[in-house]
Amino acid sequence: MRKIKFSVLALSVIFLFVACANNKKISFEKGEFKSWAETPPMGWNSWDCYGPTVEEHEVKANADYMAENLKEFGWEYIVVDIRWFVENDKAGGYNQHDPRYVIDEYGRYQPAVNRFPSAEKGKGFRELADYVHSKGLKFGIHIMRGIPKVAVENKLPIKGASGITADQIYSTELQCRWLRDNYTIVADKQGAQEYYNSIFDMYADWGVDFIKIDDIARPYHQAEIELIRNAIDQCGRPIVLSLSPGETPVEAAEHVKEHANMWRMVDDVWDKWTDITHLLNIAQKWYPHISPGTWPDCDMIPLGRISIRGERGEDRMTRLTRDEQYTLMTLFAIFKSPLMFGGDLPSNDDFTLSLLTNREVLKMHEEGTDVRQVFNEGGAIAISSRNQFTDEVYLALFNINEGDEVMEIKVNLKDLGLNGDCQVVEMWTNTDLGEVSNDFYSSIKPHASGLYKFTP
C-alpha cells in the first residue's frame, strides 16, 4: 500500500476546511504561522508601479500575467498596497489633500468602490480575492498600524468589545509621521485586542492570505505587533504577516521571529545603485536570523516598468543597468529574501521576465541554507549558501566599487566548506566553467556580480 505524507501546512489546511464545513472558528497554536511561509514568499505588489492609486482592473491584469507566466516558477501572491480605502487618492502628497475615506460602522476601512467595483454592497475584497484564487494564486493587502482617525472622531463602536468605542483605545503618541490616517492603539486598553480581532476576522472572511502592515517595524511597535499576531492566530485563516518599513532593529530579532513571517531590513528600495549597496551593508546583521517561516526582507524588486502612478519619478522602465539588475536579483535570491516584484507585470520585456524565471536561481532561493557572508573587503563581497538536499554550494560575488576597473575576485574552496575538485556552473547563463581546485577566480565589473554553483 502506498503511504501518503502530509506536511504540517497541508494538515492545517485540511483541519481548517473541516472546521469551516462545521461552521466553527479555529485558533492556531503559537508558532504555527511559521509553517505558512516555509520558503520565502514570492509575488507582486502594486506599490512601485501604482503607489496608492491601483484599481481593480490593474490588479486583475497582473494576476492574469502571473498565472500565465510565473505561477509555475513559484510566484503566487498578488498584493494590493497602500490606501485602497481612499476614493480620491493620488501619487504622493498624502497629507496635502482631503482624503475621502470609506469605512464601516465599526471603524474598519473598506475598499473604495470607484476603484474596486466588486466591493459594492459591503462585499469588501471577497470577489477580488476569489478572482485571484481562481487563478491558483493568493491574495494580499496593505494596512497601516493603528485605528483610523475618522473612527476616533466619530466615536465608532468596536465590534465585539461590549460598548467600547474607538476614542477609548487610541493615543496621538507615535502617530505615523508620513501618513496621518491612523492613531496608535494603546495595547493594554480594553477594546484594543478586540479591534485588531475585528479587522482580521473581516480580512479572513474576504479571503486574504497575506498582510503587509506599515509604520510598525521602525520604530519597533512591540505591543501592537503582539496584538496583530494574536488577531491572526484567532481569525481562523492562515495569513502571512509582513512588517514594514525597516530598518527593523536587530535587537528585536528574536521577538520579530516569534511574531512575523517577514520584516523589512531597510526603508524603500528603488532603482538606485546606492539602495543596493545599502542593502548589502545592512544584510550583514541579519544572516544569523534567516530561517524557515521567518525571513529578513530586502523590500520589493524595483525592476520592469515602475512609477506608472508611483511615488518616485516618472513612468519608466527601471533605471538600473542590466549588470545592476543581475546584482539586485542575485542578492535577493542568495539571501533568501521574500521576492515581491514591484513593476507592472504585463509591461515586462523579455529580459525582465528572464530574471524572474531562472529555474536554477529560484531553486537556490528555495532550497539554499546556511546563508553567510564569506568576506567583504575592498569593495569585493562574497556570499555563500548550500543546497540542503544536494549539498551543492552556491557563491555570489559582487564588485560594488565605482569606476570602470574590473576586479579579479578569488575565493578559496575551503572557505566554502569544499574539499577537492568541483564542477562550476555560472547560474544566470547556465554556462559550464569546468573543474576547479583550491581557488576559484572570477573577473567582475563594477556594479556587476557573478552567481555560481559548485558540485563536489
Residues 232, 152: one domain? yes
pLDDT at 1: 30
Domain for residue 363, yes or no?
A: no
pLDDT at 365: 98
193: left (phi over 0), alpha (psi -120 to 50) or beta: alpha
Question: What residues contact 248, with CB distance under 8 A and at least 6 apart?
Answer: 217, 218, 220, 256, 263, 264, 265, 296
Residues 344, 393: one domain? no
Residues 337, 241: one domain? yes
Last residue of a domain, one of 357, 382, 417: 357
Residues 159, 62: one domain? yes
Residues 345, 400: one domain? no
Last residue of a domain, one of 301, 330, 357: 357
CA-CA distance, 384 to 398, in Å (whole number)?
12
pLDDT at 278: 98
The alpha carbon of residue 267 and the mean position of all alpha carbons in its chain are separated, in whole angstroms, by 13
Q: Going residue by residue through the chain (456 aa), what tens digit of pLDDT does each one get?
A: 333 333 444 444 444 544 444 456 788 998 999 999 999 999 999 999 999 999 999 999 999 999 999 999 999 999 999 999 999 988 777 776 789 999 999 999 999 999 999 999 999 999 999 999 999 999 999 999 999 999 999 999 999 999 999 999 999 999 999 999 999 999 999 999 999 999 999 999 999 999 999 999 999 999 999 999 999 999 999 999 999 999 999 999 999 999 999 999 999 999 999 999 999 999 999 999 999 999 999 999 999 999 999 888 999 999 999 999 999 999 999 999 999 999 999 999 999 999 999 999 999 999 999 999 999 999 999 999 999 999 999 999 999 999 999 999 999 999 999 998 999 999 999 999 999 999 999 999 999 999 999 999
CA-CA distance, 86 to 10, in Å (whole number)?
37
Residues 159, 264: one domain? yes
Q: Position of cell 492609486?
A: 53
Domain for residue 366, yes or no?
A: no
CA-CA distance, 109 to 128, in Å (whole number)?
16
CA-to-CA dists, residue 52 to 55, 102, 213, 313, 440, angstroms:
9, 14, 14, 15, 47
Domain for residue 378, yes or no?
A: yes
Domain for residue 9, yes or no?
A: no
Domain for residue 367, yes or no?
A: no
Last residue of a domain, one of 357, 392, 418: 357
Domain for residue 271, yes or no?
A: yes
Domain that holds residue 315: 27-357
Residues 327, 406: one domain? no
Domain for residue 12, yes or no?
A: no
Residues 430, 297: one domain? no
Residues 343, 401: one domain? no
Residues 188, 317: one domain? yes
Domain for residue 107, yes or no?
A: yes
Residues counted in the chain: 456
Residues 185, 268: one domain? yes
Residue type, 320: L
Beta bridge partner(s), residue 296? 263
Residues 326, 390: one domain? no
pTM here is 0.94
- State which H helix or E strand residue 432 sits in: strand 431-436
What are the residue ranges of helices labelled H in 137-176?
149-153
Specify the CATH number for the domain of residue 293: 3.20.20.70
Q: Could you write out the DSSP letters of every residue in 240-300?
A: EEEE-SS---GGGHHHHHTT-SEEESSS---S-HHHHHHHHHHGGGTGGG-BTTBEEE---
The alpha carbon of residue 413 and the mean position of all alpha carbons in its chain are separated, in whole angstroms, by 33
pLDDT at 17: 46
pLDDT at 24: 64
Specify the CATH number for the domain of residue 426: 2.60.40.1180
pLDDT at 115: 98
Domain count, the chain: 2
